[in-house]
Chains A and B, each alone.
Chain A
Amino acid sequence: MERKKKRINKKSAFKRVAVVAAAGLGIAAMLLAIYMWHLFTMIDNRFAARRWSLPSSVYSDAMLLYPGQALNTNLFFEKLRDLEYREVSGQPQRKGELRRSGAFWDVYLHDLVMPAKQREGFRVRISFQKNRIESIVRMDSLQQLPILELEPEPIMLLFGGNREQRQLVSIDQVPDTLKYAVLAAEDAGFYNHFGVDPLGILRALYKNIRYGEIRQGGSTLTQQLAKNYFLTPERTLRRKFKELFISLTLETMFDKNEILELYLNEIYLGQKGSISVCGVGEASVFYFAKPVEQLSLVEAATLAGLIKGPNRYSPYADPARCKERRNAVLQEMRRNGWITQDEQNDALTSPVKSAGYKTYGKKAPYFIDYLCEQLPELYSPEDLSSLGLSIYTTLDTQVQAAAESALEKGLARLEKSYPALKRKQADQQLQGAVIVMQPKTGYILAMDGGRDYAISQFNRITQAIRQPGSAFKPFVYLSALDRFSPSSLFSNEPKTYQINGKPWRPRNTHAPAEHGLRMRTALAKSDNLAAVDLAMKVGLKNIVDTAGTFGFSTPMSPQPSLALGAFEVIPLELARAYCTFAAEGVQPLCLSMKTVTDETGKFLEQRHMRIERIISPEKAYIMNSLLRSVVTEGTASSLALRGIDFPAAGKTGTTNDYRDAWFVGYTPDILALVWVGFDNGDSIHAEGAVAALPIWAELMRQLPQYASENWFRQPPDVISRVICAQSGALAVKGVCPEPIEEVFLSTNAPVDPCELHKAGILDRILKGIGYDR
C-alpha cells in the first residue's frame, strides 16, 4: 500500500514536473509568439509607412541652348561640370561625357527627367563661333536642333537629421552580377538559410580562430538588415538577441528577393562630403556615374567589396586596397561558381576606375533660405526631409555665379580704393547684395544677400530695410505724369520748406542752380531740389499713394524728404517695383518656386507667374524713356565706359552721409538691383554710381545671353514731339537753338510753341525780306 502510494506519488510528481515543464514551455512559446508578433507589427508598421527618408531636392531652372545664343563659354563649361558631365579625350561613349575640341563640343546628354517631361539622353555636337553657339546637331539623326534644354541642376538637398542620400532601386533593376557579388562578399548562403546561418557562424568562428583575427563576420544579410534598419549600433547581448528574432521574423514575412532588395537599398556605402551615400542606386552613381543596371562585373565586385568598410576600401580613398578587396570578392564569386574562370581572370587584372564626384555644394544659400521661408506654408520640415520631393526653382545658376563674383569683386575693389572701408572683424565688413529678376515673369534668377553666407546669413535683399535715396525718385516722378510731362520745367533753386514748423533745406551735392530743369534732365542728373519742387507740386500724399500701389510694405508718410527716398524700403520690394517699368506697367509676383513634385514625378504644387496692372503701358514707356536718359546722359552714364553697349535704363541712389549706394538697372529682358553699404549704417564714402553701378556692369558683362538691342515698344498713346530744350515747349522750326525730341502721353503733350524763341520768327521773316536788325 505504502509502496503503491509511493509509486503513485512518484508518478504524480513526474506528472507534475511534466505539467509544469509543459506549462513553462507553453508560456515561453506564448511569450515568444507574443514577442514575435510584437516584432511583426513593429516591422509591418515601419514598412507600411515610408521605408526610407529621402531628402527633398531643390533644382535650378533648366538652361536653354539655341543657335545664335551668346555664351560665356567658361561659365557654360562650369555649368556642364556642375551637371556632372565629365570631360573625356575621345568621342563621348556614355551619358554624361563631354569632349571639347576647339570650335565644337560633343556632349552625351544625361537623361532628362523633369515634371511631365522625360527625355532619353543622346549625343549632340554644339558648334561655337567665337562666343556664340553656331549650331546644335543631334548626332544620331544629324538633325539641327532649334532649342535644347539641359537638365535642371540640383542645387540643394533638404535633409533631416540623418543626412543620408539614396536612390531607391527595385530588385529587378539590380543586375545578377551585383547580387552575386554582394552574396559572395557578405553571405554566400543567403538563399539557403532561414535568417540565421548557424553553420556560417561556426565557419566564421573557425576562420577567425585559425587566422587569429576577425576575417569574417557571421551575420547573414538578414541580420545585417535587421541591425542597420531596426536597431541602434551598440553591441550588447540583448541587441544581438533582438537582431536574431527580427531576422527570423523578417524571413517569415518576406521572401528572399524582397529582403535582398531592402538590404541593397539600405546599406551604407560611403561618404560624399557630409552626406552618407546609402544603397547601391546612389553608390553606383557616386562611384561610377551610371545607373545600377549598367554596372559591369568589376564595378559590381568593387561595390560589394565596399560593404565591409566603405571608407577604408573606397576607390577614392585607396585604389590599391580597393582592388585587393574587389579581387577577394571576385575569387569568392568564382569559388561559388557564379562567374567563369575567364571572367574572373579578366576582372582581376582590370584597373580600379571611379568617376569622380562633386560634393553637394551649398549654391545660392540666400536664395535657398528665401525659398525655404515659403516652403513651411506648404510642407512640414519632416516632410521635406523625408518625402523625396523635387522642388524646381527659377534660379539660373549662371546668373547666380555671375552675381556672386561681381559682388565680391566689386566690394574688394572698393575696399582697395578706399582703405577706410576695411574692417578688421569679418562680421562688420563692407556688405553688398544683388538680386537679378526677369521683369516680365517675376522669376528671381539670382539672389545674393550678402558677401559671405558663412559669416552672415542675414539676407540683405529680403530682410534688410534701407533708405533708397534717389533710387526712389522714379516713383516720385511717375506720380507727376498726369499733370506734368517730361518736358515740364522744375526749379532747382535752393528753397526752405517748413516741416512740422521746422525749416528744411534740401541740398544738391553738385549741380548749378537753374531756374528750370526739364523733368528728364532733373531725373537723369538726380537733382534733389527739382525732385522736391516736383514732389511739392504733385502733392506728397499722391506720391505716398503711388508707392502704395507698387506694394512697398514699409511705411511712408507725406513729408518732403519722401521725394529724396528718405523712407526705408526692402530691397526685394524695390526691385519688384522697378520690374513694373520694365514690364510695361504690370507688376509680376516674385517667383522663386515653380513646381513641386513627389518622388514619382507627380505634381504637388505648381506656381505660375501672375501679373497685376499697376500703371498704364504709356506711363511705363515714358518712365523707361526717362530712366534710359539716366544711363545715356545722367548719373549712370559711366555704364558705357564699363562695357555696357546695349540699351539699358536705371537709376542710381545714394543716401545721407553715403550710408547706402544703390543701382537698379534693367533692359526688357533682365533687371538687377545692387546695394552696397554697412550693416551698421557707417558711411561708405561713395555714391551709387561709384559703389553699386560697377557691380551691375560687371554682372551684365558676364551674361551675354541677356544682352540685346531690344527696347520697349512704344504704345499707341505715346507720341513724340520736337521741343525746345530750354523752354520745354514745342520747338519753333529753325529758331529754337536746341530742338530735341521728347515723348509724351497723348493726353498731356505740349501744344503751345516755344515762348522763349517765338520772337525769333519775326527776325527770320525780316531776314527773309533782306532786313537785318
Chain B
Amino acid sequence: MTDKKRVWLLTFFLLIAIAASGCARVMIDPYARPLEKTPPKAKTEPAEATVKKTPSIEESHKPVVEKAPEKMFPIEEETLPVPKPAKPDPRALASLELTEQGRMLLEQGRVDEAMTVFESAVNLSPENGRNYYYLAEAWLVKGDLRQAREWNRLAELYLQGDPDWAKRVSSQKVKINGD
C-alpha cells in the first residue's frame, strides 16, 4: 500500500468514525434529553423489593436545565436507590434462589459448598447484595476477617436501600470489627 493510499484510507475511516460517533451521539447522548425524575414508588412486596434495579446511568448524570442545582440534587434524601417495581429481573430471581440454597448450606455448616453457591449467585446477578452479606458470613466462619470486611462493604453498598438488610449488614460490620 502506498503512503498516499494509506492516508486516503485513514481519512476515509476517520470520516466514517466521525459520522458514526455523530450518529451515536444524536441517538444516545444523555445530555440531549431532559431530566426525568423518577417519582418515588410505593413500597413493593418483599419478594419484589429484592429485584430492585439500580438507578440507570441516565439518572447518574442526566442533563438538568431548568432548576437550580441545590434544589435539583438534595444529596442526603435521594442518594438511596429508588426501588422500581417494574417487572422482576429474572436473573435476580434466579440468583435469589441460589442465595437461599447457599444460606441453607451455610446453616448446615457446609461453608465451602455454600460459598461456591454464593459465587454462582454473584455471577448470575452482581446486583443481589444478599450474596455479599452471606459471603461475609462465610468468611467470618472461616476466620478470614479481611475478606469478611470486604464483602461486608459490598453488601453495605448494595443493601443500603433495604432497611431490614441494611440493619443486618451493619450489625455484621460490628461483629467483624469487634472480633
Contacts and interface: CB of A to CB of B under 8 A. Distances in A.
Given A611-B150, A690-B13, A709-B53, A746 B94 contact: no
Contacts of B90: 66-69
A637 B26 CA distance: 11
B126 A625 contact: no
Interface in B149-177: 150-151, 153-154, 157-158, 160
**Which size class do B's interface residues fall under?**
35 or more
A628 B57 contact: yes
A669 B89 CA distance: 14
A442 to B, nearest CB: 10
A615 interface: no
Interface string B46-60: 000000011111001
B147 A146 contact: no
Contacts of B68: 733
A69 B93 CA distance: 11
A612 B20 contact: no
Contacts of A64: 94, 98, 120, 124
A748 interface: no
Nearest to B101: A147
B123 A739 contact: no
A740 interface: yes
A188 interface: no
Contact of A66 (B66, B94, B126): B94
Interface in B29-76: 29-31, 35, 53-57, 60-69, 72-73, 75
Contacts of A147: 94, 97-98
B104 to A, nearest CB: 13
Contact of A712 (B54, B65, B89, B122): B54
Contact of B24 (A438, A611, A638): A638
Contacts of B20: 637-638, 641
Contact of A741 (B63, B94, B126): B63
A644 to B, nearest CB: 10
Given A64-B120, A68-B90, A668-B126, A730 B69 contact: yes
B81 to A, nearest CB: 6
A710 B127 contact: yes
Most chain B Cβ neighbours within 10 Å, of A61, A64, A722: A722
A719 B90 CA distance: 30
Given A709-B53, A711-B57, A714-B55, A632 B30 contact: yes
Given A595-B116, A690-B17, A716-B160, A146 B24 contact: no
A443 B123 contact: yes
A323 interface: no
Contacts of B115: 608
Most chain B Cβ neighbours within 10 Å, of A639, A719, A740: A740
A487 to B, nearest CB: 11
A516 interface: no
Most chain B Cβ neighbours within 10 Å, of A62, A117, A628, A716: A716
A146 B94 CA distance: 6
Given A720-B73, A740-B31, A610 B93 contact: no
B79 A714 contact: yes
A773 B101 CA distance: 72
A742 interface: yes
Contacts of B147: 610-611
Given A741-B64, A743-B61, A722 B1 contact: no
Contact of A713 (B1, B116, B157): B157
B24 A637 contact: yes
Most chain B Cβ neighbours within 10 Å, of A685, A710, A743: A710
A116 interface: yes
B17 A689 contact: yes
B141 interface: no
B6 A720 contact: no
B67 A440 contact: no
Nearest to A669: B126
A3 interface: no
B21 A613 contact: no
A708 B61 contact: no
B53 A710 contact: yes
A698 B16 CA distance: 19
A721 interface: yes
Contacts of A731: 64, 69
Contacts of A146: 93-94, 97
A628 B154 CA distance: 21
A722 B25 CA distance: 20
Contacts of A390: none
A66 B65 CA distance: 43
Contacts of B72: 722
A88 interface: no
A617 B153 contact: yes
B2 to A, nearest CB: 10
A640 B19 CA distance: 13
A733 B67 contact: yes
Given A69-B91, A640-B27, A625 B54 contact: no
Given A638-B21, A668-B126, A710 B61 contact: no
A735 B62 CA distance: 18
A103 to B, nearest CB: 18
Contacts of B6: 685
B119 interface: yes
A632 B91 contact: no
A745 interface: no
A578 to B, nearest CB: 15
Contacts of A69: 90-91, 94
Nearest to A753: B69
Contacts of A226: none
Given A66-B93, A722-B72, A739-B65, 5 more contacts: A115-B113, A608-B112, A633-B24, A668-B127, A685-B1
Interface of B: 1, 6, 9-10, 13-14, 17, 20-21, 23-25, 27-31, 35, 53-57, 60-69, 72-73, 75, 79-81, 89-91, 93-94, 97-98, 110, 112-113, 115-116, 119-120, 122-127, 147, 150-151, 153-154, 157-158, 160
10 contacts: A64-B120, A66-B93, A418-B9, A608-B119, A611-B154, A686-B13, A710-B53, A711-B55, A713-B54, A720-B73
The 9 closest A-B pairs by CB, nearest first: A68-B90, A66-B94, A637-B24, A722-B64, A637-B21, A640-B24, A146-B97, A638-B20, A741-B61
